Structure 1
Amino acid sequence: MIREYLQMSFRNLEGGNFTLSVYDPKEDLTSEEVEAVMNNILEKNSFKSPGGDLKSKSAARIVTRQVNTLAEF
């Protein structure tokens, strides 16, 4: 099974990383759309992290993961 997810990474007030993952992003997602969402998250202070409020964008990436199940019990 192949699974994709969008990873949006931010820096918090203490300088640590906070990553938000969204499974099954649309196929034609653009960097402009992702940046707009990340800006909205920062402007509205939508999430808290153990290191405090989110203060800046760090990265955004699409991650593809393939899992091959050998056996299920």
Structure 2
Amino acid sequence: MSKTLVMNFLNEAGQKTAVRLNNVKDAVTEAEVSAAMDVIIAKNIFTTTGGDLKFKDSAEIVDKNSTELSVK
């Protein structure tokens, strides 16, 4: 099972942009994610074709399960 944190931001053009982090720890909290998003915006870490990231939009953790099938 793999967990991915998806943090959605709005850039200067008002477009939604996602930043994804793989293999997120199980005990990550909303406060930690919110604080990380604040740092990303404050330090201007990423830029997009629509400009710098300006606002937090949303965040979610996506669980991905896969089952290998034997088809030989």
- In the superposition, the TM-score normalised over structure 2's length comes to 0.88
**Equivalent residue, structure 2, for 1:34:** 33
Percent identity (aligned) = 36
- In the TM superposition, residue 65 of structure 1 has moved relative to its aligned partner by 1.8
After the TM superposition, which residues 14-53 of structure 1 pair with which residues of structure 2 at under 5 Å, given as runs?
14-53=13-52
Deviations 1:3-59 (A, max 9, x none): 210000000011101100000111110000000000000000110011101110001
Q: Number of residues paired by the alignment?
A: 70
Q: CA RMSD in A?
A: 1.2
Structure 1 spans left out of the alignment, 5+ residues? none
Return structure 1 stretches of 4+ with deviation > 2 angstroms. Answer: 66-71
Rounded to whole Å, the distance in 2 between the matches of 1:17 and 1:11 is 5
